[in-house]
Amino acid sequence: MSSKLTTAIDYFLPIKFEKEPENKRKARIVIFIFLFTCLSILAIWISSLNLENTNNFPFPIALGFTTLSAFAFKKTGSFHLSGHLLGLLVFFFLFPITIETGGLYSDDTLWLLLGPVLAFFAGNKWTGLIWSIILIAGVSYLYSLDISSPESLMKDSLIFDSNYYFTSIVFLFIMILGVIFIYENEKTKLVGELGSKRNELQKQNTLLETEVKKRTVSLEESNEQLKRSNADLEQFAYVASHDLQEPLRMVGNFVQLLEEEYSDKIDDEGKSYINFAVDGVSRMSLLIEELLQYSQLGKKGLEIIHFDLNTVVHQKTKDLSLLIKSKKAECVIQDLPRINGIPGQIGILFYNLINNALKFNTSDKPKIQISYRENSSHWIFSVADNGIGIANEYKEHIFELFKRLHRKEEYSGTGIGLSMCKKIINHHKGEIWFDSKENVGTTFHFSILKNLQEKN
Amino acid sequence: MGLPIEILLVEDNEGDIILTKKAFEKGKIMNRLHVVRNGVNALDFLYQRNGYEQSSRPDLILLDLNMPKMNGQEVLENIKADENLKTIPVIVLTTSNADEDILKSYKLQASSYIRKPVDFKQFGQVIQTLQDYWFTIVKFPLKE
């Protein structure tokens, strides 16, 4: 094929074949045949113009429509549109001939069936359906014409009388078959492509699944590791508290025993040294104990249960009764509700707050008030005292671990108590805060989530 | 007062043995403190065997938890499993609160727990209270 002809043919190629060399080649052949046939028929038509056949107008229509179909096909790549054009072509081409050659009784009537068939093959089932309906309408129209003397007309059947009409039909078939062939080919290819895409997807899926499995395994591993190190930590806390206490006790006890048994040989200065030693030991012991308690706050297996807060708070005031008596303090406790929480921890919380209220109190008549209120989601408890108060500048720091605001000679303590309270309140999905005025008193407030989930 | 009270101290720490002896010496009640240094010897003493044939049945056992060979927990289990011995009150000596937790979790039938104190004066008071409580208030099961 010369390059000029190729360019001419390529002009009619659907755009979507650009990326498919195989289909492009096939489509080229079809269009070549189409162009060749068009030109041949044009030549026959021109040469037969001076013949006596006057009824030759359907041919230019046929030529026009097929060319239009080719253009539509190129521009849109749509078989759908081509289907409609071909259906339209058949009706424009054959319907007038059918009327002329005897209406319902004409041989050409049967050819009308070509309309829906072409529309179906070139387009889809919907274009086929539309042209079937048009065919029924057309046939109904032919019936309504009521041509009563078919015999005379039948002899003039144009399709078989005229060479170029017949050739037109043949060429049309070639064109349509070509289009259908390419279409089918494309469809198969598409299905194949879809299949390979699906395979790829499946491969990816499998890959993803293995990846997920791998991740799950590593997650389980690190979970296991975490459990182990948690257990290690608990073991460590126990060993620390236990084994650190042991030598400490020996030091404390024997220094005291020394003082008792050899008091006549030790002078007052020596005895004051002993006091320092004993004091240091007991502070260290308290520190260890509270650290242990602090470290065990997060321990697993602590169950959230529904319990009566009154019992817990009264137990704690009983534990503190010696201090309460020595301070001549008064405790006013409102009737408290039943709440969801970890009783042991809530006990530690109240113990620390009441203990602080007593400890940091220089009033002649210390007074502690415990009360509560509630909102829709939380219980809010308050522990108020008339103690020394907390200076505003320390507001931010008092919940920090080991934070002490006073010299230990003034007020004893380890600086763990309030950080423990904070941790406990965190476990109970609440907050802890305070109002204070120096030398007037402090009120600690804390909230506890009402519907903490019971775990048992 | 009649016969001295027989006390069995099961303890491996020499320091604690001395401290306990001292504390009982200061006590008002006449007592005889027998010391064994591990769990195996404690059971030998109680069953009067392996060199302890001459031992007498104690009125009270003071038991440390952490010991070599056989720990306090096992000794306690043994005592409570024996029909004859289980009537002897056992007081468990603990070093820390953590020990108490363990004991509670094992639900052993110790009569009570004493926290070994850091302060000797305090320890003396504890032993004093213990004596008052066990020997003057609580009526012991009769010896067979």
Residue range A209-243, pLDDT digits in tens: 999 999 999 999 999 888 888 777 777 776 777 77
In a domain, residue A214? The reply is: no
How far does chain B reach from its first CA to its final CA, in angstroms? 21
Distance between CA atoms of residues B28 and B39, nearest Å: 29
In a domain, residue A294? The reply is: no
Claim to verify: residue A45 and residue A155 sit in the same structural domain: yes
Higher pLDDT residue, A179 or B24?
Answer: B24
In a domain, residue A53? The reply is: yes
C-beta separation of A427 from A455 below 8 A: no
In a domain, residue A234? The reply is: no
Domain boundary among A201, A218, A240: A201
Residue A6, token pair as written in the block:
């190729």
Place of tokens 């010496």: B25
Question: So what's the pLDDT on residue A3?
Answer: 66
Residues in chain B with CB shorter than 8 Å from the CB of A237 are 98
Higher pLDDT residue, B54 or B3?
Answer: B54
C-beta separation of A379 from A342 below 8 A: no
Claim to verify: residue A188 and residue A309 sit in the same structural domain: no
Claim to verify: residue A159 and residue A10 sit in the same structural domain: yes
Does any CB of chain B come closer than 8 Å to the CB of residue A347?
no
pLDDT tops 70 at residue B13: yes
Does any CB of chain B come closer than 8 Å to the CB of residue A362?
no
Query: At B9, is the secondary structure helix, strand, or coil?
Result: strand
Q: At what angle do helices A79-100 and A114-122 cross, to 10 degrees?
A: 170
Domain containing residue A327: 301-449
**pLDDT band per the 50, 70, 90 thresholds, residue B10:** very high
In a domain, residue A285? The reply is: no
* Nearest of A381, A391, A382 to residue A436 by alpha carbon: A391
Closest CB to B119 among A242, A252, A292:
A252
A positions 211-240 inside 8 Å of B (CB): 237-238
Residue A432, token pair as written in the block:
């802890």
Question: So what's the pLDDT on residue A117?
Answer: 79
Place of tokens 């319990």: A307
Residue A281, token pair as written in the block:
């030991």
Claim to verify: residue A187 and residue A317 sit in the same structural domain: no
In a domain, residue A239? The reply is: no
Distance from CA of B56 to the nearest CA of A (A): 31
Q: At what angle do helices A309-319 and A343-359 cross, to 10 degrees?
A: 40
Residues (pLDDT < 50) of chain A are 1, 54, 152, 154-155, 159-160, 456
Average pLDDT, chain B: 79
Question: So what's the pLDDT on residue A160?
Answer: 46
In a domain, residue A350? The reply is: yes
Question: So what's the pLDDT on residue A147?
Answer: 66
A280-302: per-residue pLDDT in tens? 888 888 888 777 777 777 665 56
Claim to verify: residue A121 and residue A7 sit in the same structural domain: yes
Distance between CA atoms of residues A30 and A48, nearest Å: 27
The CATH number that applies at residue A353 is: 3.30.565.10
Domain boundary among A201, A223, A244: A201
How many structural domains comprise chain A? 2
Claim to verify: residue A30 and residue A179 sit in the same structural domain: yes
Beta-carbon separation of B118 and A248 below 8 A: yes
In a domain, residue A370? The reply is: yes
Does any CB of chain B come closer than 8 Å to the CB of residue A190?
no
C-beta separation of B132 from B138 below 8 A: no
* Structural domains of chain B ordered from first start: 5-129 (3.40.50.2300)
- Helix ranges restricted to H, A262-297: 268-295
What ipTM was predicted for this assembly? Answer: 0.72
Beta-carbon separation of A248 and B120 below 8 A: no
**Chain A residue nearest residue B122, CA to CA:** A253
pLDDT tops 70 at residue B38: yes
Claim to verify: residue A427 and residue A313 sit in the same structural domain: yes
Does any CB of chain B come closer than 8 Å to the CB of residue A76?
no
Claim to verify: residue A167 and residue A306 sit in the same structural domain: no
Distance between CA atoms of residues A370 and A9, nearest Å: 98
Closest CB to A285 among B99, B118, B120:
B118
How far does chain A reach from its first CA to its final CA, in angstroms? 88
B50-106: per-residue pLDDT in tens? 888 888 889 889 988 877 777 788 888 888 888 888 888 888 887 766 666 566 656
Question: So what's the pLDDT on residue A47?
Answer: 66
Distance between CA atoms of residues A353 and A311, nearest Å: 17
Domain boundary among A170, A201, A232: A201
- Sequence-ordered strand ranges (E) for chain B: 5-10, 31-36, 60-64, 90-94, 112-115
Q: Which amino acid is at A177?
A: L
Distance between CA atoms of residues B55 and A431, nearest Å: 61
**pLDDT band per the 50, 70, 90 thresholds, residue B1:** very low
Cα A147-A148-A150 angle, rounded to 5 deg: 85
CA distances from B105 to A41, B62, B82 (A): 107, 20, 22
State how far Cα A144 lies from the chain centre.
65
Does any CB of chain B come closer than 8 Å to the CB of residue A173?
no
Beta-carbon separation of B119 and A278 below 8 A: yes
* Nearest of B66, B118, B10 to residue A238 by alpha carbon: B66
Distance between CA atoms of residues A259 and A294, nearest Å: 34
